[in-house]
Amino acid sequence: MKAVRPFPQKPDAIFKGTLCPLTLMDLNELWLLDLRVFTDGEAYERDTFRQLLTSPEVIARQIRNNNGHMVAFAIGIIEEDGIGHITTIGVAPEHRRRNLARIMLLSIEQGFSLCGVSTVRLEVRTDNKGAQQLYEEIGYTTTQLMRKYYSTGDDGYLMIKAISGRGWGF
């Protein structure tokens, strides 16, 4: 397992809000935020979110600011092969570089780990260097180039991380 860089201390980037589960009740707000985050035509349909959030295999997180508005979201699902899959992650443009993505990913990984998941995968566009930097910093490694992976014809990288997968223990 790769070492994870400790959280940076950036007093100018302090964010106050709440990390909590993302549920079907949040569907409308999630969809609207997703449209703001993915401006490249790759935003999910409402029904895709609905399906994901009704699946028992999903572990999803959101961050709300102190005014109660959703500012970040991330969804992970345990696939049939037992691998944890981060399907989407987004942070409102005005709240980026405050560790919100990092916090949500680590929280979902924790949830995966409690379910016995020991490998997590995700896909990222080859030109999305910021996201790749984030994933590398928290322990993901690029394992494969996937040509024309995206519906827009863009190439993607497959990135993988090993986690403890300890399951429940008392």
Ligand X SMILES: CC(C)(COP(=O)(O)OP(=O)(O)OC[C@H]1O[C@@H](n2cnc3c(N)ncnc32)[C@H](O)[C@@H]1OP(=O)(O)O)[C@@H](O)C(=O)NCCC(=O)NCCS
Burial class (CB in 10 A: 0-12, 13-18, 19+), 41: exposed
102 part of the interface to ligand X, by CB under 6 A? yes
Instruction: Provide, rounded to whole angstroms, the least separation between the CB of residue 90 and ligand X.
Output: 4
Instruction: Provide, rounded to whole angstroms, the least separation between the CB of residue 63 and ligand X.
Output: 9
Per the CB < 8 A criterion, the answer to whether 7 and 99 are in contact is: yes
39 part of the interface to ligand X, by CB under 6 A? no
Concatenating the DSSP letter of every residue in 1-44 gives: -PPPPPPP--GGG---EEEEE--GGGHHHHHHHHHHH-TTS-PP
Among 46, 50, 64, 96, binds ligand X (CB under 6 A): 96
Instruction: Provide, rounded to whole angstroms, the least separation between the CB of residue 89 and ligand X.
Output: 5
Q: Which stretch binds ligand X (CB under 6 A): 48-56, 93-101, 112-120, 142-150?
A: 93-101
63 part of the interface to ligand X, by CB under 6 A? no
Q: How many residues belong to the site for ligand X (CB under 6 A)?
A: 20
133 part of the interface to ligand X, by CB under 6 A? yes
Nearer to ligand X, 35 or 167 (CB): 35
Among 65, 87, 126, 128, binds ligand X (CB under 6 A): 128
91 part of the interface to ligand X, by CB under 6 A? yes
Alpha-carbon distances, residue 32 vs 24, 26, 36, 49, 69 (angstroms) = 14, 10, 7, 11, 11
Alpha-carbon distances, residue 39 vs 18, 34, 35, 71, 84 (angstroms) = 25, 9, 6, 16, 26
Residues that bind ligand X (CB under 6 A): 8, 37-38, 89-91, 96-102, 124, 128, 130-131, 133-134, 137
